Amino acid sequence: MSDIVDTRGLSCPQPVLLVMSRIKGLEGGEVQVIVDNEVSRENVSRAAGSQGWEIREELREGEVRLILRR
Protein backbone atom coordinates (compact mmCIF):
# COMPACT_ATOMS: atom_id res chain seq x y z
CA MET A 1 0.00 0.00 0.00
CA SER A 2 1.61 3.24 -1.09
CA ASP A 3 0.98 6.82 -0.01
CA ILE A 4 -1.20 8.94 -2.25
CA VAL A 5 -0.76 12.70 -2.58
CA ASP A 6 -3.65 14.46 -4.29
CA THR A 7 -2.53 17.72 -5.92
CA ARG A 8 -5.65 18.32 -8.01
CA GLY A 9 -6.75 21.94 -8.06
CA LEU A 10 -3.57 23.13 -6.41
CA SER A 11 -1.30 25.57 -8.14
CA CYS A 12 2.40 26.13 -8.01
CA PRO A 13 4.24 25.63 -5.62
CA GLN A 14 1.72 23.64 -3.52
CA PRO A 15 2.03 20.31 -5.40
CA VAL A 16 5.81 20.28 -5.01
CA LEU A 17 5.56 21.34 -1.36
CA LEU A 18 3.11 18.52 -0.59
CA VAL A 19 5.19 15.89 -2.37
CA MET A 20 8.47 17.06 -0.87
CA SER A 21 7.05 17.02 2.64
CA ARG A 22 5.71 13.51 2.01
CA ILE A 23 8.98 12.06 0.68
CA LYS A 24 11.22 13.93 3.06
CA GLY A 25 12.89 11.50 5.40
CA LEU A 26 11.65 8.44 3.50
CA GLU A 27 14.45 5.97 2.87
CA GLY A 28 12.57 4.52 -0.04
CA GLY A 29 9.28 3.01 -1.07
CA GLU A 30 6.49 4.18 -3.29
CA VAL A 31 4.48 7.39 -3.32
CA GLN A 32 1.68 8.08 -5.78
CA VAL A 33 0.90 11.63 -6.84
CA ILE A 34 -2.33 12.59 -8.60
CA VAL A 35 -1.76 15.57 -10.88
CA ASP A 36 -4.30 17.41 -13.01
CA ASN A 37 -2.16 19.70 -15.09
CA GLU A 38 1.04 19.69 -17.09
CA VAL A 39 2.85 22.21 -14.89
CA SER A 40 2.34 20.14 -11.74
CA ARG A 41 3.44 17.04 -13.63
CA GLU A 42 6.65 18.74 -14.74
CA ASN A 43 7.40 20.39 -11.41
CA VAL A 44 6.74 17.32 -9.26
CA SER A 45 8.75 15.12 -11.62
CA ARG A 46 11.65 17.55 -11.63
CA ALA A 47 11.66 17.95 -7.84
CA ALA A 48 11.32 14.24 -7.02
CA GLY A 49 13.79 13.31 -9.74
CA SER A 50 16.38 15.63 -8.21
CA GLN A 51 15.99 13.70 -4.92
CA GLY A 52 16.82 10.43 -6.63
CA TRP A 53 13.26 9.15 -7.06
CA GLU A 54 12.31 7.32 -10.22
CA ILE A 55 9.09 8.51 -11.83
CA ARG A 56 6.65 6.41 -13.79
CA GLU A 57 3.32 7.60 -15.11
CA GLU A 58 0.00 5.82 -15.13
CA LEU A 59 -3.40 6.82 -16.40
CA ARG A 60 -6.01 5.58 -13.94
CA GLU A 61 -9.68 6.38 -14.38
CA GLY A 62 -8.86 9.50 -16.34
CA GLU A 63 -6.34 10.70 -13.80
CA VAL A 64 -2.62 11.03 -14.33
CA ARG A 65 -0.71 9.42 -11.50
CA LEU A 66 2.99 9.85 -11.00
CA ILE A 67 4.41 6.77 -9.30
CA LEU A 68 7.54 7.76 -7.40
CA ARG A 69 9.86 4.93 -6.37
CA ARG A 70 13.19 4.81 -4.67
Partner 1 sequence: MDVTRNIFSTRTGIIIVGAAIGVLAALLQKWGNPGNMGICVACFDRDITGAVGMHRAEVVQYLRPEILGFVLGSFAAALAFKEFKPRGGSAPLARFILGMTAMIGALVFLGCPWRALLRLAGGDGNALFGMAGLIAGIWAGTLFFKQGYNLGRNNQQSVGTGLLMPLLIAGLLVLRLIYGPVEGQAQSGVLFYSLKGPGAAYAPLAISLAVGLFVGLLAQRSRFCTMGAVRDLLLFKQWHLFSGFVTLLAAALVTNLALGQFNPGFEKQPVAHSMAFWNFAGMVVAGLSFALAGGCPGRQLFMSGEGDSDAGVFVLGMITGAAFSHNFGLASSPAGIGPHGIAAVVVCLAFCLLIGFTNTQRAQA
Does 47 interact with partner 1 (rule: CB under 8 A)? yes
Examine residue 46 and tell whether it contacts partner 1 (CB under 8 A): yes
Continuous segment of H or E residues that includes residue 68: strand 63-69
Residue 16 sits in the site that holds partner 1 (CB under 8 A):
yes
Q: Which of 24, 25, 50, 60 binds partner 1 (CB under 8 A)?
A: 50
The whole-angstrom distance between residue 27's C-alpha and the CA centroid of its chain comes to 16
49 binds partner 1 (CB under 8 A): yes
Q: Based on the shown chain and the rule CB under 8 A, indicate whether residue 8 belongs to the binding site for partner 1.
A: yes
SS3 content of the chain, % helix, strand, coil (to 5): 35, 35, 35
